[in-house]
Chains A and B, each alone.
Chain A
Amino acid sequence: MNFMLFSPALFILSGLCALLLHKYNKVSNCIGAFGVVTGCIAGLVSLFNAYTNPESVALSVPWSIPYGSFSIAIDAIGAIFLFPIFILSAVCAVYGLEYLRHYYGKKNTASAWFFFNLLIASMILVVISRNAVLFLIAWEMMSISSFFLVLFEGEKKEVAKAGLIYLIATHIGTLFLLVMFVLLGNEAGSFDFNRYQITAGGLLPSIIFISAVIGFGTKAGFMPMHVWLPEAHPAAPSHVSAVMSGVMLKTGIYGLLRVITFIEAPCAWWGYLLIGIGMISGILGVLFALAQHDLKRLMAYSSIENIGIISMGIGLGILGISTQNPVLAILGFAGGLLHIVNHAFFKGLLFLGAGVVLHQTGTKEIDVLGGLLKKMPVTGFCFLIGVAAICGLPPLNGFISEFLIYLASFKNILAEPSIAIVSLGCIASLALIGGLAVTCFTKVFGIIFSGEPRSSSCQNAHEPGMLMIVPLIILAFACVAIGISFPFILPKADRLLADITGISPDLIRTVLSGTMNPLIYITTAGLLLYSGLFLFAVLRRMLLKGRTIDSVPTWDCGYAKPDPRMQYTASSYVQPIVDFFKGILRTQKHGCELIEYFPDSSSFKTKTSDIFQENLFAPILAFIHRCAESLKWFQHGKLQVYILYILFTLVALFIWKL
């Protein structure tokens, strides 16, 4: 029997067991987490099997559902998504074990485990399914289970609203996917993926591609279809946000890549479109992240930014395929795909870190935190690694993937004008994104972890238990390890890139070996940096040996009576940049300016809402609401008249057919 199916089955089974034993909080929690961890290990083993023996994992069983067949398989494209799913889910499950302990007795944690396990099982099924019907069923399971996870604290009003927005957005996306699969199936005469091969020219491939971009882009969080993301991610429990942001968004990218493999010859403008979406999502994503005060909401916007970077890489890759430019195609896809894995690790790390902060202090408002590095040094250090990685600083993993996209652009800067302009645009926007990301995350780390505590809640904060610390360490280690070992990983990716681009593996190997030089430099420099840091740490310890170490408040210099309220706040730190981009951000400021010499007590508040939500979706929704209002008389709630409606319809149909 197929070993790959073992792990989703284990997830669902352990989820059900957890649900059955919901009366015993501890037991059901342990069963849920244990199921995820063992399932993930089994999945990783079968993934390794699939790598050594690709034929061993294909399975196709006929199914009674019309057009459906239970076909699953793992190929290189699926594997690159399965790998982060397994690792991040296992890590988050361990973390969730302690995170949910806080809710014992207050909430049904067993149902949280059930939906968490279902979410992971369905994500795996999405990636391995090879039939459109099976894919859509798994896709829907994924949406529904994550919807219930978002509603974990559904009694809060804003959480309920977030859940509703997510439910609507994800189903609009599914609608477009349905259209896309029907078009594909109509052309191929079957709903099995291996029969999908669109060779026809004309409008059809473009319509399919546009539907895929809207449908999958809604899940992935392309702007402007991202509006559910900043609502849903802060609402879910932190380990769920980590999985949702780290790997669930990526299933949207997976779908897009899968559809591209169905189409023989992608058009060049698809590449331009994806690059454009990537630039908009990247720049606006990080800008809006910059202006947020809610830690998890900020992370959600930063996920949009990273999806933008991924989309840029894939767009460059498609452009490379359609213009027969192997360097652009290979490096673009390589950068985009690597960023998928990297983002899973560092965003998972950051969400889990944010969860620790929330769990230990009870707030995710950046402005009331502060000075946490002294209270929880290990968490702070891991968070710092995640922050450095997401900013794209060498020698961490985030830098490598952005570097590959930079490289793809720089190598084509002298190509024909259309590609050269796009390459320049990519370089410029990646640079802008990088700079803004550094501002954004120095704000996060600086305000939360440095300085003095701004409120009593972080006075008493302390390091959480091992179950929450170890996941952070594992993910931080993964960020460092990928950054260092990448030159050894890249040559192994030839099969994956050949699957996507359709370029011969030999050519891919030559192109990849051309990029090895700078990568090896990066690795060497990174190793030097780490050993230098290590030496300095040892030196510091030796010098401080036997001396007394004083500790004084931060920002003590020169102030007679320093007070935590004198520190920079999150808003004041980013104020110059937010003001510079005020045309886009439209930050509302509430509060008065201080004019007199002895001002009264005063307050100041800023709020940055989503421009797409306010200016694009709100008017559309208001219009739909107005239309619905005019149909209200029809829904009066009188049972008898409802039966009359049914009767009238039936009799009318009967008479019509006579």
Chain B
Amino acid sequence: MNSWVDLNIIAIVLMNFMMLSSSRIRICIRVVAIQGILIGLMPLLAGVHSTTYASLVSLSISIALKGIVFPYLLLRALQKADIRKEVEPIGGYPLSLLMGVILFLVSCWLSSRLIYAKPLFSNLVVPVSFATFFTGALIIVSRTKAITQVLGYLMMENGIYLFGSALLGGQSLLVELAILLDIFVAVFVMGIAIFHISREFDHIDTQNLTELKDWVPSKQE
């Protein structure tokens, strides 16, 4: 048992809750970035990686993308789109936090049901990876702004990365690079899309996208 690893995991959990409770988008972007860096460092702290050049390079790429490039892109989109700084959750912050706690408990229960092929470097890592994934999903579902949905997406990716590094060790890096590429494109596209949405509609509130649905109620009602 490595105390650095556990400390790191606890920091990740705290960031999940911070994400759910903070009302400023700027802070949320930074939280996701720091969480990405911490999760990126996890394999090094746990010592599951053979320290070859290839694995170090891919690690540093992943950390650079999540810690520097994504936050930069998102902050720039925030600035250009000139949007209001509040997160605007559906149902309020206390409910979000409560849901976060419930999801954490569900994750613990889920991970206790799983059977692992080999011992893990920490008992906490699987529940926390689930919790991070679910928190990302919760952010996507419960926040109305397009930019927070990108953040939720990034958090889900963080969860997947943590899960992968816990279970697969070194081999996960290849998979991780492929996912990172997807995410990179997604963030890039979303950044542009958010800018255009805000320019066209003066806001980036996804609730107004309801107007685009194809089912128009018939007139006799």
A270-329: which have CB < 8 Å to B?
A: none
Q: Pull 19 A–B residue pairs with CB atoms less than 8 Å apart, ordered by A.
A: A632-B217, A635-B213, A635-B215, A637-B210, A637-B211, A638-B207, A639-B207, A639-B209, A639-B210, A640-B142, A640-B143, A640-B144, A640-B207, A643-B137, A643-B141, A647-B137, A647-B141, A658-B110, A658-B114
Q: CA of A637 to CA of B140 in the docked complex: distance in angstroms?
A: 15
**Contact between A640 and B206, CB atoms less than 8 A apart:** yes
With A643-B141, A647-B137 as contacts: A636 and B210 at CB distance below 8 Å: yes
Select one of A636, A654, A655 contacting B213, CB under 8 A. A636
Chain A interface category by residue count: 10 to 19
**Contact between A637 and B209, CB atoms less than 8 A apart:** yes
Q: CA of A643 to CA of B113 in the docked complex: distance in angstroms?
A: 25
**Contact between B113 and A658, CB atoms less than 8 A apart:** yes
The chain A residue sitting closest to B113, CB to CB, is A658
Q: Scoring B residues 91 to 127 as 1 if CB is less than 8 Å from chain A, else 0, what string do you get?
A: 0000000000000000000100110000000000000
Q: Decide if A644 is an interface residue (CB 8 Å cutoff).
A: yes
A625-655: which have CB < 8 Å to B?
A: 629, 632, 635-641, 643-644, 647, 654-655
Which A residues fall within an 8 A CB radius of B?
629, 632, 635-641, 643-644, 647, 654-655, 658
What residues of A have a CB within 8 angstroms of the CB of B207 in the complex? Answer: 638-640
What residues of B have a CB within 8 angstroms of the CB of A635 in the complex? Answer: 213, 215
Least distance between A590 CB and chain B CB atoms (Å):
25
Select one of A637, A639, A655 contacting B215, CB under 8 A. A637
Q: CA of A425 to CA of B195 in the docked complex: distance in angstroms?
A: 73
The chain B residue sitting closest to A654, CB to CB, is B110
Q: CA of A637 to CA of B110 in the docked complex: distance in angstroms?
A: 31
Q: CA of A644 to CA of B140 in the docked complex: distance in angstroms?
A: 9
Closest 3 CB pairs of A and B: A637-B213, A637-B210, A658-B113
Q: CA of A632 to CA of B216 in the docked complex: distance in angstroms?
A: 10
Q: CA of A658 to CA of B90 in the docked complex: distance in angstroms?
A: 31
The chain A residue sitting closest to B206, CB to CB, is A639
The chain A residue sitting closest to B211, CB to CB, is A637
What residues of A have a CB within 8 angstroms of the CB of B114 in the complex? Answer: 658
What residues of A have a CB within 8 angstroms of the CB of B215 in the complex? Answer: 632, 635, 637
Least distance between A343 CB and chain B CB atoms (Å):
40
Q: How many chain B residues touch the partner (CB < 8 A)? A: 20
Q: Decide if B212 is an interface residue (CB 8 Å cutoff).
A: yes
What residues of A have a CB within 8 angstroms of the CB of B213 in the complex? Answer: 635-637
Q: Scoring B residues 200 to 212 as 1 if CB is less than 8 Å from chain A, else 0, what string do you get?
A: 0000001101111
Select one of B140, B144, B212, B217 contacting A643, CB under 8 A. B140
B138-195: which have CB < 8 Å to A?
A: 140-144
What residues of B have a CB within 8 angstroms of the CB of A654 in the complex? Answer: 110
The chain B residue sitting closest to A650, CB to CB, is B137
**Contact between B110 and A655, CB atoms less than 8 A apart:** yes
The chain B residue sitting closest to A634, CB to CB, is B215
What residues of B have a CB within 8 angstroms of the CB of A639 in the complex? Answer: 206-207, 209-210
Q: CA of A121 to CA of B154 in the docked complex: distance in angstroms?
A: 47
Least distance between B112 CB and chain A CB atoms (Å):
10
With A635-B215, A636-B213, A638-B207 as contacts: A644 and B110 at CB distance below 8 Å: no
Q: CA of A637 to CA of B210 in the docked complex: distance in angstroms?
A: 5
Least distance between B38 CB and chain A CB atoms (Å):
25
Least distance between B127 CB and chain A CB atoms (Å):
14
Least distance between B117 CB and chain A CB atoms (Å):
16
The chain A residue sitting closest to B112, CB to CB, is A658
Q: CA of A186 to CA of B207 in the docked complex: distance in angstroms?
A: 49
What residues of B have a CB within 8 angstroms of the CB of A640 in the complex? Answer: 90, 140-144, 206-207
Least distance between B192 CB and chain A CB atoms (Å):
18
Least distance between B90 CB and chain A CB atoms (Å):
7
Least distance between A100 CB and chain B CB atoms (Å):
32
What residues of B have a CB within 8 angstroms of the CB of A641 in the complex? Answer: 141
The chain A residue sitting closest to B209, CB to CB, is A639
Least distance between B113 CB and chain A CB atoms (Å):
5
Specify which of B143, B213, B217 lies most central, judged by the most chain A CB atoms within 10 Å of its CB: B213
Least distance between A635 CB and chain B CB atoms (Å):
5
What residues of B have a CB within 8 angstroms of the CB of A643 in the complex? Answer: 137, 140-141
